[in-house]
Amino acid sequence: MSAADRTADETVPAAAAPAAPAPGSPAPPAPEPAPPTKASPAWTLAGLAVVVLLAWLVSVLTDQVPELTAGTWFGNIAESIEYPVYAIALGFAGNTVLSATGVRRRMAAAFRTEFFIKIGLVLLGATVNFAIVVRAAGPAVLQAVLLITVVFLFTWWFAGLLGLDDKLRALLATALSICGVSAAVAAAGAVEAKKEQLAYTATLVIVFAVPSIFLLPWLANLMGLSPAVTGAWIGGNIDTTAAVTAAGAVAGEQPLQIASIVKVTQNALLGVVAVLLSLYFSLRVASSAPAEQGRRFGDRSTLAVIWSRFPKFVLGFLLASVVATVLAESLPEAVLEPRLDAAKELQTWALTLAFVAIGLEFNASSVREAGWKPILVFAAATLVNLVVGLGLAVLLFRGFTF
Amino acid sequence: MEHSERPEYPDDHKRFSLNEDWAATIVGLVLFLACLLGLLTPELIP
């Protein structure tokens, strides 16, 4: 998420930051209605210090709370609280404090959820045996294709029923069916959506994803789902990759592995959907404005677009998994184990930074501006996603063993 | 064109996200390599 850019426009909610122009890109053609706040290195460093401090506090709480509360009524509850819970709670608390003191937007360039989550997922690859990736790939691809198709078409249809604009329909459908904010950004590019449409789509993603982090692992436990089915359900349902990882971590190590593989598969299909959207909007929906004609699909080859939208961290995830798996076959366990332990410690740190940043960068104002229709679409599509996703997860991952 | 009507340009984001995507991938792999080489050990990580 291009947090660095969001400070260039005070009117854009934090979650919409990816849409802001990149550093060095052409300036927007229209004047901004509010005076811009530049992201100075000092404020960015201060923001980074806040993220790291909160992440450190998370590790202290995760270690100390169970010990300090042992033997009390809270002891058993504290034992079951995983680090994502503390991280997200502290992130939101930090958000409240920084917003109240008026410095949150100045520090926002440091709240880079997607950057941290991608580092964490590459490192997570080192802890996932490549054989699991290979075995899970088939059902994961099948689940992703079916789920993306069903959820995308339902969202497109339902949003159309409510009379929403085609571009907003595309954004909502892509965000809900693929990978949240990243997908919404890619779709916004493909269909040339308005900045405001991307803003509240991105915020809705976070509003719906945060409760899911806790709700889905709890429901999976209640239904007695296996670790693989739990992971597949989480990975297929929660829109944003950071929240999938948080929910997977809450559910356990094995659900986290499958959730990551399923989500990474969905991420990898983003390019294909972006191409299809570009094609559809070029042929059927695009207006006759000269700027939009200039963005027609024929500008570049299909493969080039797919590659440009392909999330590159997937390659890092796969490479780390292959390397760790090969080394496990060739190095003594006593040599490899501490090295992989170190990678796992760093992975936990990167994910904690990402979960803290989820809370810190959240901005609810654009939800209020969105009106009830996109919220209704999001709620209905999430319900469809939950039900169909559960069916597919049970069907495809029921017999999966680790 | 009004501010609220300005469309997002695909390249506005793509340029930055591509860099961020690669940067995160490279940082992740470098950290993993540092762990494999024994430069970063569990004792060094708080």
pLDDT tens-digit profile of A244-282?
A: 999 999 999 999 999 999 988 888 887 778 778 777 776
Highest averaged pLDDT of the listed ranges A2-6, A297-301, A329-333, A381-385: A381-385
Q: Is residue A81 part of a domain?
A: no
What pLDDT is attached to residue A5?
Answer: 36
Mean pLDDT of B7-20: 48
Cβ distance A12 to A6 under 8 Å?
yes
Q: Is residue A82 part of a domain?
A: no
Q: Does residue A20 surpass a pLDDT of 70?
A: no
| Among the partner residues B20, B21, B32, nearest to A343 by beta-carbon distance | B32
Mutate to test the interface with A, among B32, B33, B40, B41 (most CBs of A within 10 A): B32
Asked if B8 lies within 8 A of A33 by C-beta distance, the reply is no
Q: Is residue A308 part of a domain?
A: yes
The complex's ipTM works out to 0.72
A179-206 per-position pLDDT tens digit: 777 778 777 777 777 777 777 788 888 8
CB proximity under 8 Å: B 5-44 to A: 5-18, 20-29, 31-32, 35-36, 38, 40-42, 44
**Structure confidence at residue A325 as a pLDDT band (50, 70, 90):** very high
pTM, whole model, 2 decimals? 0.74
Residue B16's closest chain A neighbor by CA?
Answer: A22
Q: Is residue A50 part of a domain?
A: no
- Residues of A32-51 as b/e, b for ≥16 C-beta within 10 angstroms? eeeeeeebeeebbeebbebb
What pLDDT is attached to residue A76?
Answer: 78
Residue A165's domain comprises 113-397
| Among the partner residues A31, A195, A341, nearest to B8 by beta-carbon distance | A195
Alpha helical stretches, state H, A192-297: 195-223, 227-237, 241-251, 253-268, 270-280, 290-293
The total domain count for chain A is 1
Q: Is residue A250 part of a domain?
A: yes
Q: Is residue A76 part of a domain?
A: no
| Among the partner residues A11, A18, A195, nearest to B17 by beta-carbon distance | A18
Mean pLDDT lowest for which of A116-125, A130-139, A262-271, A337-346?
A262-271
Q: Is residue A388 part of a domain?
A: yes
Q: Is residue A338 part of a domain?
A: yes
What pLDDT is attached to residue B43?
Answer: 87
